[in-house]
Each structure stands twice: as structure tokens, then as C-alpha cells.
Chains A and B, each alone.
Chain A
């Protein structure tokens, strides 16, 4: 009898004490039998304590790393060490809806994708983010679409899931640094032979607190992103060589 696949929902949080309760309640109200872990990037508020009160395991960084990619490194490592088949990233700010988890996870379980991105721009419903950010997202979506040969619309979406192959690669094989740009994950996945797809989702505005995306990051993010894309392109042969290790 085939065993039930293990699915992990990694909730990313940093100083989300005002939102984490809402997020965890949403996840418990839409419990599909998935495991949940909160990745706390060294919060100095009660984020971790609130999550523990809900009986959710918390993996806390001893200091704030200041970037999203460090939290990603942590959840890949956690998922790899605990033998998960599917890993789903879910933001702790209440923007994502747990009711849509199945649509993110199912393509991975069906084996049709290695990375599934929840895109808010397919059906253009719900929170669409501010104009400058939409321009940046559109630019990187176009670049990534051209490279991967897949039509992508929301490459920076934090609502996404990864297959066992991708978990194994980022949690074990890939020894280099991951940067604060989601294009890097997609391009590396593409170069190691992974399949990428998008599904429509609807996002909510933040339930409270302030976004980490400020004006300075709005300026530097596209520039850093272009360098990261270039770095991925330059490394593609090396990455293709590593795909045989999977």
C-alpha cells in the first residue's frame, strides 16, 4: 500500500505577532492533514511564543538574518532532514489563504510540477500590490518566462510549493548561498531539470504591521535581481551537471 505523502507548510515570519494568530487559525480551519512549521527569522516580539501556544513547531533563527532567503534555506533544510515530499511556503502576514493550499500542493503530488507558484495576476483578483512593485514583478516574470520557456506572471509570489526533488537539491546538494530573490530558485530549478507552473490564487492585504518591502528595497531589488539572474545564467552548465546527483 503506498504511503501517504508528507506535506509541510512552512510559515515565514518576522515580527508578525499581530498577524501570526490569524494565519495559524486560517491554517487550522483548513487542515488538509499537512504538517505546519513556523520559521521565525529572529523576531523580537511574541511571534514564536504565539505559534508555540497554538502547538505549532517553531524553528527560530538565533538572530535576524534580514533576508527572506535565509528563512528559505532553513525550511529546505528542515524539510529535507524530516523527509517531506512536498514543501509549501506560506507567509505569516496573513496575505495568503489556507483554503487555496490544495491548488498549490496538488500539482506537485500529481507529479506534474516541481515548483508551483501561486499567481495573483492570472485571474487578477484580490490584493495586487503597489504599482512600482507590479512593474518589477512583471519585468522579472518576463525574464524568467523567457529563460524557462514557461509563461510566468508572479515570480516573486511567496505562496509556492516545491517537490521532493527541489527539497533534496536545496536542502542537501546545493552548497552555495541563496539570495533574496525568488527568480534564483526558479532558474536553478529550471537548470536542474525541474518543471515550473503557476496556479491562480487570491491574495489579501496584510492583516497588520509593516511590510519589509520599503522604498530602498524597491530601488535595489530590481538591480540585485538582474545580477542574480546573470549569476544563474553563468552557472547553468554547472547546475545542469548537478542535476544528475538528484
Chain B
């Protein structure tokens, strides 16, 4: 890996950390997601500093030609797993919204009925 690519990985990692910190400050990122994205930034840093370790793992553990193959496979796997995780989260959120819509609608009608009764009394 040449030096410019290493610098690019380091800058990308720092950028991710910066965005995560800013998002935490604005309360736009929950701590559990922040931890995940900090882990992603550490992974980017590791690409710059632990190139030989990845090449070694790729060759000896997975029998891959180079460390870059391992990185691609890892990243694609991570993205697929994360997409699936986010899909389940979206479904959970949709379920909760549906329940809230029903509860709000019925409660609203009960409040309206109580108001009507209190006015007539």
C-alpha cells in the first residue's frame, strides 16, 4: 500500500470520528450506533497501520491471495449484515408507529367523548 492511500485511510477515519462526535453532540446519533461507527473508523485506521497483519490473516486463515481481498469481503459482509439489521430496525419502528397511531386515535376519541359528556353535564 502506498503512502497516499494510507493517508487517505487515516483522513477517512478521522472524518468518521469527527462526524460521529458532532452527531453525538447534536443528539442525532444514539450511543449504540455511535460505538458502531467509531469501530468502523478504527477499522479504517487499522487498514493504514496493520496492512501486513491483514495480508497474513488472508493467506494463512482464509487462503486468499492478498489482504485487500479479505478487506473487500469483510466490508461487503459487514454492509450486508448491517443492511439486514437496519431492515429489522425499520420494521420494529413501523410496528411501533402503527401501535401508536391506533392508541392515539382511540385515546383521542375517548377524550372527545369525555369532553362532550362534561359539557352536557
Residues of B35-63 whose CB lies within 8 A of A: none
Binding stretch for chain B, among A1-9, A52-60, A184-192, A213-221 = A52-60
Residue B103 is within 8 A (CB to CB) of chain A in the complex: yes
Residue B22 is within 8 A (CB to CB) of chain A in the complex: no
Name the B residues within 8 Å of A109 (CB-CB). Answer: none
Q: A74-B101, A74-B102, A77-B102 are in contact. Are A59 and B95 (CB under 8 A)?
A: no
A70 to B104, CA, bound (A): 12
A63 to B104, CA, bound (A): 11
Q: Which of these, A39, A60, A67, A176, contacts B108 with CB under 8 Å?
A: A60
Name the B residues within 8 Å of A73 (CB-CB). Answer: 98-99, 102
A39 to B106, CA, bound (A): 10
B101 and A63 within 8 A (CB): yes
Q: A57-B113, A177-B95 are in contact. Are A70 and B102 (CB under 8 A)?
A: yes
Residues of B78-112 whose CB lies within 8 A of A: 91, 94-95, 98-99, 101-106, 108-110
A59 and B101 within 8 A (CB): no
User: Which of A57, A65, A74 counts the most B-chain CB atoms under 10 A from its CB?
Assistant: A74
Interface of B is mostly: helix
Instruction: Report the nearest A residue to B116, measured CB to CB.
Output: A57
B101 and A81 within 8 A (CB): no
- The digit string for A23-53, where 1 denotes a CB below 8 A from any CB of B, is 0000000000000010100000000000000
B98 and A177 within 8 A (CB): yes
Name the A residues within 8 Å of B113 (CB-CB). Answer: 57
A37 to B112, CA, bound (A): 14
A114 to B54, CA, bound (A): 63
B108 and A74 within 8 A (CB): no
Instruction: Report the nearest B residue to A79, measured CB to CB.
Output: B106
Q: Which of these, A60, A67, A176, contacts B105 with CB under 8 Å?
A: A60
- The digit string for A172-198, where 1 denotes a CB below 8 A from any CB of B, is 000011000000000000000000000
Instruction: Tally A residues with Cβ within 8 Å of B.
Output: 20
A70 and B108 within 8 A (CB): no
A57 to B117, CA, bound (A): 14
A216 to B46, CA, bound (A): 47
Instruction: Report the nearest B residue to A63, measured CB to CB.
Output: B101
Residue A159 is within 8 A (CB to CB) of chain B in the complex: no
Name the A residues within 8 Å of B104 (CB-CB). Answer: 61-62
Residue A169 is within 8 A (CB to CB) of chain B in the complex: no
**In the complex, what's the smallest C-beta–C-beta distance from B90 to chain A, in angstroms?**
12
Q: A70-B98, A73-B99, A177-B95 are in contact. Are A62 and B106 (CB under 8 A)?
A: no
A61 and B105 within 8 A (CB): yes
A70 to B95, CA, bound (A): 9
Name the B residues within 8 Å of A78 (CB-CB). Answer: 106, 109
**In the complex, what's the smallest C-beta–C-beta distance from A231 to chain B, in angstroms?**
12
Name the B residues within 8 Å of A70 (CB-CB). Answer: 98, 101-102
A62 to B98, CA, bound (A): 11
Name the A residues within 8 Å of B91 (CB-CB). Answer: 177
A57 and B98 within 8 A (CB): no
Q: A70-B98, A73-B98, A73-B99 are in contact. Are A62 and B109 (CB under 8 A)?
A: no
Instruction: Report the nearest A residue to B110, measured CB to CB.
Output: A81
List the interface of chain B (C-beta within 8 A of A). 91, 94-95, 98-99, 101-106, 108-110, 113
A-B contacts, 12 listed (Cβ < 8 Å): A58-B109, A60-B109, A63-B101, A65-B98, A65-B101, A67-B98, A70-B98, A74-B102, A74-B105, A77-B103, A78-B106, A176-B95
